[in-house]
Structures are given as structure tokens and as C-alpha cells.
Chains A and B, each alone.
Chain A
Amino acid sequence: MARISKEKRKTGLIDVALKLFSKKGFYVTTIPDIAEEAGMSVGNFYNYFKSKDILAKELVLYISEYLGNQILLINEKDISTEEKIHEIVVMYFEMATKKPEMIEYFLRVYLSNREVFGEGCEGMVCVSPFVTEMMMFFNDGVAKGDLHDQDFFSAFGLFMGYLGGMAFLFGEKILPHPLEWYQESISQNIYNALKKRQ
């Protein structure tokens, strides 16, 4: 049997952990649960992550890097700011539909259990790949004259809060339609709210 590289095993563990956290909840899920699901011994698990808290932080970083990379690809495209907004919305909803555990982890674990992320994940430390890319997006939008110049967090909160809220409603099975159904109107709403005032 070919040996699986350490990096691959680590990503495998991350996937398993994310799924379990989203199914059973962060506190109820134990390290033995994760190890068992991944088909390894608890001892071996500790070779990858020294504790559940460390795993928790690495998960945020992992998701944030994933999101950051996706937005970077969009940022580098030669398209209008309005089109970029649309692409970010589509990307986010796709992620919330196909990998709901990632968004859920972000919304339910990271945002609501700040005590776990106190040390080593303060402020922007663990989410910076993602926040930086959003800064680049907003900065370019204003520099191009497409977006209204305002405080970064007011714009960021509007954009991400809206998307997060929709993903949450979707996760709770409250939305009458699949997320995809809302893409157009939500992109429009965000663009209208952020665009340069005439």
C-alpha cells in the first residue's frame, strides 16, 4: 500500500473533524471520536495536533486560507467590481452548499466560542488570509471609483454578515429555496448598498 503523506493525513483529519463538529457540536465531539472516524489511534492523532484547542485554531486558519485563496482568484480577474461581488457570492454559496461544515464551523464555532480562540488567534491572526483578500477587494473597488469610500468594517460587516446570515438560514432549513436561487438578488443588494453614491 502506498504511504499517505503526513500533509494528506492532516488534511484528512481536518475534514473529519469539521464534519463531526458540525454534526455533533464542538464540545461534545472528543479526540477519540475524531481519531476513530479517521481510522487512527488516539496516540497517533496527537502527532498531528497537540490538543483540541490547537486543532480548533488550525481549522479556522484552514478555512480562512481556503476562502482567501478563492477570493484572490476572483480579485485577480479582469472584471468589474459588480461582477466580482457576484462571483464572491456564488463562491460562498457554493461552499455553504457543498461544504456546509466549513461555513458552519466558522459561524457556529469560531464566531460563538471566542474563549477557545483567545490565545494565538487574537484579532485577525487566524482569519487574516481571508480578511486581507476582502481588504484588497474593497480597496480596488474604491480606487476604481466603483465603491463608496467608507470605513472598512462597515462594508465588510455588510457583505459578510449578509452572506453569513443567509448561510445560517439555509443551514437551519428555513429558506424556502436553495441558496443558489438567491444569488442574483443578493449580489444586486450588496452592490447597491456598497456602490459609489452619485
Chain B
Amino acid sequence: MHSKKDNKKKLLWLQGVTCNGNTHSFLNLPYLPLLLSKIELLYFPTMEALYTFEEISECKLSCDILVFEGAFDPELKRNDILIQTMLEHYSKNAEYVIAVGSCASFGGIFKASAPQRNSGLLFNESERTGPMLEVDQKIINLSGCPIHPEWLGYTLNMIINHQKILLDEMHRPRELYSNLAHHGCTRNEYFEWKVDAKGFGLKEGCLFYEQGCRGPMTHASCNKILWNEVSSKTRSGTPCFGCTEPDFPKQNFFNTKTNMSIPEDVPLGVPKRNYLTMAGIAKTFHIKRLEGKLIDYKTTP
């Protein structure tokens, strides 16, 4: 009979072309010690684990959960072994392959700088032409630049507890990626009445019309599961950059692309004509409470 310890899932964390952002993000998970007590860490780039990278690169061991961070580059070697070889070896027996971050999911920033070489594990932006097509059923994409630590925490806990993770067409857990970054944004009322933010870092105004916010077309739960449990980009006054989507990174993060002052992209699922009609009418109304500073508004006139 297996002891309890033997039943722990074995996790291995490999890196492709990466900035380490997801590694660092994961270290900020508030319940990391508890989570780590439930798994066996074979190797992790910045934490003590059971094996060294040299031992891992020999490709003699096996794991249950393979986490891959960074873009895939077919020529990249670590410890003189092709990353591709390691990926092939460890994915064979793994139950799940988790692509953490937008680079591992879709190519992300590193694909943008070397489009011919780099890609995600399963996707090349939104095309299913990545190197791990053979094990596509095992792949869970946790896109984000970097990922939210809770998203990985959620996924690992689901796996540890033998729960089924429903995925969307881009292999992202639906529980985490069905929301838009727009949901839960504290600026929604400004969005509704088309009141623009006058600058960055302010509490008032929506960042969609002038500051490049991609919240209404980005699948992410940043405004529902807050960062460091307190904040998010839009809460602190910075636009959403759409980092969880296959087309990330776009250019000009702080600009809304417009044609004759009409936003090129409108909220997901809304026909443009209808959006323009609604927006034009909403703009007509002037709501005093939304025009000035929140702190100056008098509740009793």
C-alpha cells in the first residue's frame, strides 16, 4: 500500500524563454506553504526542491504535473539539453501540462520579438500550431502577463482534489476566464455613461475611450480576484492591457485605437452599430455625481 506521502502529486516546473515573472508571481500566493505541503516539488527554479536541474535534465524521472513557463523555442537548450526533449519526456507520463503565463500559452512577449521561432505550447497566438499538439488533452493554459498567483493556486488545488477543470476553446479554465476584466471594475458606471478618465491614477472616469483599456474584451478575473488581495490595474488607474488574450501584446497600450474617434474594438459580443447608438445617447446625459471628484461630491445638495 502507498503511504500518504506517495499519493502526493509530483510537480515539475520547467522554463522556456522567460522573464521569470510567473515564478515570482507564484511566490506571492498567500497560501503557498499550505499548497506546497500538499504536493511534492521535484524541481522549481527559485525554491528548494527534491532534485537539482542537472538531475532533472537527464530525463530519467517522471512527474504528474508539468508546469511550463515562458515561450517555446525549438533551439533553446538548458544544461546542454534541448528544452523540447525535456518537454517531450516529462509530458508523456504527466496527467496535466500547465502552461503558465501568456508566453507559454500563446507566445506572448517573446513570440512578438522572435515570431518565427517562439510560440506557446499548444497555440501560436490563436492558431493551434504549437509543438505539443500530441498531448493537447493534457494542456491547461493559464494566460496572463504574468499570471495571477491565485489562478495557478486554484488550478493546482482542483487537480489535487481530483476535480474536473472545465476549459474554454483556448484551454483556459472557464471558472477563471469566463469573466472579463471589465467585470468587477469599479469604473463600470463611468463606462455606462461614457465619462472618460482625465488622466492616469485617478479614481474617477473610465479608461476605455482614451487610455486604451481592453477590459471589455479581455477574459480575465483580475477585478474579481484582486491582486495581492487588494487591487488591480483598473482599480489603481491603469488600463487593462489585454494580457490574457492570444493577441497580446498589442502596440500602444495607453491608446485606444479609434477610427474618426470611434473605438475600433467594442465590448465583446456587442454589435458595433448598437454600441454606437447606445454610447451616443448615454453621452447626452450629464450626471453631476460622475463629473467631479468623488470626494467632493455632496450627498445632500
Residues of A in contact with B (beta carbons under 8 Å apart)? 122-125, 128-129, 131-133, 135-136, 138-143, 147, 149-153, 155
State how many residues of chain B have any CB contact under 8 Å with chain A: 15
Residues of B within 8 A of A138 (CB): 259-260, 262
How far is it, in angstroms, between the C-alpha of A142 and the C-alpha of B258 when the chains are bound? 9
Residues of A within 8 A of B258 (CB): 149
Q: Which of B255-301 touch A at CB < 8 Å?
A: 258-262, 264, 272-273, 276-277, 280-281, 283-285
How far is it, in angstroms, between the C-alpha of A133 and the C-alpha of B280 when the chains are bound? 12
Closest to A143 in B: B259
- B277–A142 CB distance below 8 A: no
How far is it, in angstroms, between the C-alpha of A155 and the C-alpha of B264 when the chains are bound? 17
- A128–B259 CB distance below 8 A: no
Q: Given that A122-B285, A132-B273 are contacting pairs, would A139 and B260 also be in contact in the complex, using a CB cutoff of 8 Å?
A: yes
- A132–B277 CB distance below 8 A: yes
Candidates A124, A131, A132, A150; contact of B260 at CB < 8 Å:
A150
- B260–A125 CB distance below 8 A: no
Residue from A124, A150, A152 whose CB has the most chain B CB atoms within 10 Å: A124
Q: Which of B129-182 touch A at CB < 8 Å?
A: none
- B262–A135 CB distance below 8 A: yes
How far is it, in angstroms, between the C-alpha of A150 and the C-alpha of B258 when the chains are bound? 9
- A123–B260 CB distance below 8 A: no
Candidates A123, A141, A143, A153; contact of B281 at CB < 8 Å:
A123
Min Cβ gap A57→B in Å is 14
Closest to A154 in B: B260
How far is it, in angstroms, between the C-alpha of A155 and the C-alpha of B261 when the chains are bound? 10
How many A-B pairs have beta carbons closer than 8 Å: the answer is 56
Residue from B258, B261, B285 whose CB has the most chain A CB atoms within 10 Å: B261
How far is it, in angstroms, between the C-alpha of A125 and the C-alpha of B280 when the chains are bound? 8
Residues of A within 8 A of B276 (CB): 132, 135-136
Residues of A within 8 A of B283 (CB): 123-124
Residues of B within 8 A of A135 (CB): 260, 262, 276, 280
Q: Given that A138-B260, A139-B262, A149-B260 are contacting pairs, would A131 and B285 also be in contact in the complex, using a CB cutoff of 8 Å?
A: no
How far is it, in angstroms, between the C-alpha of A123 and the C-alpha of B261 when the chains are bound? 17
Q: Given that A132-B273, A132-B276 are contacting pairs, would A139 and B281 also be in contact in the complex, using a CB cutoff of 8 Å?
A: no
Q: A135-B276, A135-B280, A139-B262 are in contact. List 13 more A-B contacts (CB 8 A).
A: A122-B285, A123-B280, A123-B281, A123-B284, A128-B281, A129-B277, A132-B276, A138-B260, A139-B272, A143-B264, A151-B260, A152-B262, A153-B261
Min Cβ gap A110→B in Å is 15
Min Cβ gap A167→B in Å is 23
Residues of A within 8 A of B259 (CB): 138-143, 149
How far is it, in angstroms, between the C-alpha of A167 and the C-alpha of B276 when the chains are bound? 27
How far is it, in angstroms, between the C-alpha of A131 and the C-alpha of B280 when the chains are bound? 9
- A151–B284 CB distance below 8 A: no
